[in-house]
């Protein structure tokens, strides 16, 4: 092969490599990107099919129920307007409390309950996840102001 052909071949191979890598990365990006869905939209059934998404809201007071001695539990999330039942099995984060804002990752089951595989609560007593603060402000502005007190 002439040097020029060699160079063209090298450039061509590099371009193909970059293309494949880009395609793989974008695909992985699409698969792993998780949308935040508001509880109001979940109630209307506007959720991504067959993939995880995130929901957030306040944990309703006295809604945490578990069978004594078992890891499974359920609780209710609210945006102060609509509610969503969340099922979870595992260890809750340190700052999970009733009345606190939390975020959960998971998807809906056939009964329309949210099955969470991850529950997140930030490490700050006064912290309100920004998504949750936004939804609250949108759906119940007066109550949200109270809740942030």
Q: For binding to another protein (CB under 8 A), which residues are involved?
A: 6, 10, 21, 24-25, 28-29, 31-36, 54, 66, 68-71, 89-92, 94-95, 123-125, 130-131
In angstroms, what is the minimal distance from the CB of 120 to another protein? 10
Shortest Cβ 71–another protein spacing (Å): 5
Q: Which is nearer to another protein, 32 or 110 (CB)?
A: 32
Task: State in angstroms the smallest separation of the CB of 31 from another protein.
Answer: 8
Residue 41 token pair? 């939209």
Q: Whose Cβ is closer to another protein: residue 91's or residue 110's?
A: 91
With beta carbons less than 8 A apart as the criterion, state whether 65 and 75 touch: yes
Angle between helices 141-148 and 130-139 (to 10 degrees): 140
| CA 2 – CA 22 distance, rounded (Å) | 30
For the chain, what is the largest distance between any 2 Cα atoms, rounded to a whole number of angstroms? Answer: 78
């Amino acid at each position: 092969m002439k040097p020029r052909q060699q160079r063209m071949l090298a450039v061509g191979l590099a371009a193909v490599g970059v293309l494949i890598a880009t395609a793989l990365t974008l695909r992985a990006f699409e698969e792993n990107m998780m949308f935040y869905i508001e509880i109001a939209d979940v109630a209307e059934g506007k959720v991504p099919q067959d993939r995880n998404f995130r929901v957030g809201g306040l944990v309703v007071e006295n809604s945490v129920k578990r069978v004594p001695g078992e890891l499974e539990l359920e609780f209710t999330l609210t945006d102060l307007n609509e509610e969503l039942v969340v099922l979870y099995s595992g260890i809750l984060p340190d700052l999970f409390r009733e009345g606190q804002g939390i975020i959960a990752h998971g998807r809906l089951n056939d009964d329309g309950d949210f099955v969470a595989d991850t529950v997140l609560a930030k490490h700050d007593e006064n912290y309100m996840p920004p998504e949750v603060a936004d939804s609250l402000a949108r759906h119940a502005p007066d109550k949200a102001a109270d809740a942030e007190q």
